[in-house]
Amino acid sequence: MTKRLVLALPGNETFASQLAESLGLATCAVAWRRFPDSETYLRIDANVAGADVLVVCTFVEPDLQILPLLFAARTLRELGALKVTLIAPYLAYMRQDMRFHPGEAITSIHFAKLISDAFDELIAVDPHLHRHKSMDEIYAIPAVVLHAAPFLARWLRENVEALLIVGPDEESEQWVSEVAAGAGAPFVTLRKTRLGDRDVRIAFPDMTQWQGRVPVLVDDIVSSGQTMREAARQLVADGWPQPVCVAVHALFAGDAYETLRRDVSRIVSTNTISHLSNQISIVALISDALSKPRT
Ligand code: R5P
């Protein structure tokens, strides 16, 4: 049977060791450091010859992480690894998925090419598929998409009564419909217009039939927090209680978390990105997928 090992990119050690424990695998010893000029030093201190290596990297700072990641993948192959799989609980560069203005880079495609050239397979949790309808439109390797919705739904069933799931924009319907079904709750989706990185406008449908319920904003990513914040402020202005916010990927750029906290009753996220709002572990989602028979 092929030996399997788990290797963590810096910052992913906790998630990687939880995943390894859940799968009964060893982690791969690796030394990383930066040279004084900020170049990467990497040494793999394990026998990976003939192994299937699961490289864990959640892309909280993709521009800083991509080179070390590609170096690791290439080095693993040079040292004889048979298969190198990227486990990306949060997969970055999925939102610039078209040329919105002339001359823009469609970075989702360029990023996918870099990953596809270096890895044999990709496993990601709720990648932001919007204008790309499936991963194989941009990824040339098998790309397994896992959904955190059942985990979000279970947390909501156990923690919030009489809820109304609110998706802040049209594309969120793919997540909120599944979360709502799992939580046994109704859902609505709002209409968002993005005017800038931190400037969004949100239009609400008529929600009077759901009055009396607790609004729960559900989104895949919170980055600047403006989407959640604008939705929360309008809910409160319309007479609703402060909402609970549930996100899969807690990016929370800068002071987004502290700012959003003022307008909502609670913020909860999965641990695809390590953050103090993490309440929902999705390690089992990935380990279950990896436990199934694979090619
Ligand atoms: C949008 O495309 C995503 O689903 C999220 O709504 C978005 O990334 C949230 O971004 P922010 O927190 O910066 O408003």
Domain harbouring 172, CATH code? 3.40.50.2020
Instruction: With respect to residue 10, please indicate whether it lies within any of the assigned structural domains.
Output: yes
- Of 100, 166, 223, best ligand 1 pocket probe by most atoms within 8 Å of the beta carbon: 223
Task: Return phi, psi of residue 21, to 5°.
Answer: -65, -45
Give residue 85's Cα distance to chain centre.
Answer: 17
Q: Is there a single domain that holds both residue 142 and residue 26?
A: yes
Ligand 1 atom 5, closest CA: 221
Given a contact cutoff of 8 angstroms between Cβ atoms, the answer to whether 3 and 51 are in contact is yes
- Hey, what are 117's tokens? 């050239």
3-class DSSP state of 31: strand
Radius of gyration of the chain from its Cα atoms, rounded to whole angstroms: 20
Q: Domain range for residue 87?
A: 4-146
Q: Is the CB of 215 under 6 A from ligand 1?
A: no
* Span from the CA of 198 to the centroid of ligand 1 (angstroms): 10
Question: What is the Cα–Cα distance from 31 to 45, expressed in whole angstroms?
Answer: 7
Closest ligand 1 atom to 200 CA: 14
- The response to whether residue 95 sits with its C-beta less than 6 Å from ligand 1 reads yes
Per-residue model confidence (pLDDT) at position 171: 86
Classify residue 289: in a domain, yes or no: no
CA of 194 to the centre of ligand 1 (A): 9
User: Which pTM does this prediction carry?
Assistant: 0.95
Sign of CA dihedral 93, 127, 97, 205: negative
- Alpha helices (H) along the chain: 13-23, 62-78, 107-118, 149-159, 173-183, 226-237, 256-261, 283-291
Q: Out of 130, 166, 221, 246, give the residue to mutate to test ligand 1, the one with the largest number of ligand atoms within 8 Å of its CB.
A: 221
Quick check: CB of 222 below 6 Å from ligand 1? yes
The reply to whether 288 falls in a domain is no
Query: Which residue minimizes the CA distance to atom 3 of ligand 1?
Result: 221
Domain match, 164 and 140 both: no
Looking at the domain assignment, is residue 231 inside a domain? yes
The answer to whether residues 106 and 79 belong to one domain is yes
Q: How far is the CA of 231 from the centre of ligand 1 (A)?
A: 12
Decide: 93 and 108 in contact? Cβ < 8 Å: yes
The tokens for 138 are 């941009």
pLDDT tens, residue order, the chain (295 aa): 789 999 999 999 999 999 999 999 999 999 999 999 999 999 999 999 999 999 999 999 999 999 999 999 999 999 999 999 999 999 999 999 999 999 999 999 999 999 999 999 999 999 999 999 999 999 999 999 999 999 999 999 999 999 999 999 988 998 899 999 999 999 999 999 999 988 999 999 999 999 999 999 999 999 999 999 999 999 999 999 999 999 999 999 999 999 999 999 999 999 999 999 999 999 999 999 999 876 5
Q: Same structural domain for residues 266 and 161?
A: yes
The Cα–Cα gap between 295 and 48 comes to 19
Same domain, 136 and 161: no
Ligand 1, atom 13, lies closest to the CA of: 224
For ligand 1, say whether the CB of 225 is within 6 Å of any of its atoms. yes
Main-chain phi, psi angles of 48, to 5 degrees = -105, 5
Same domain, yes or no: 104 and 167: no
Instruction: Work out how many domains the chain is built from and give that number.
Output: 2
pLDDT score of 295: 58
- Write down the pLDDT at residue 174: 86
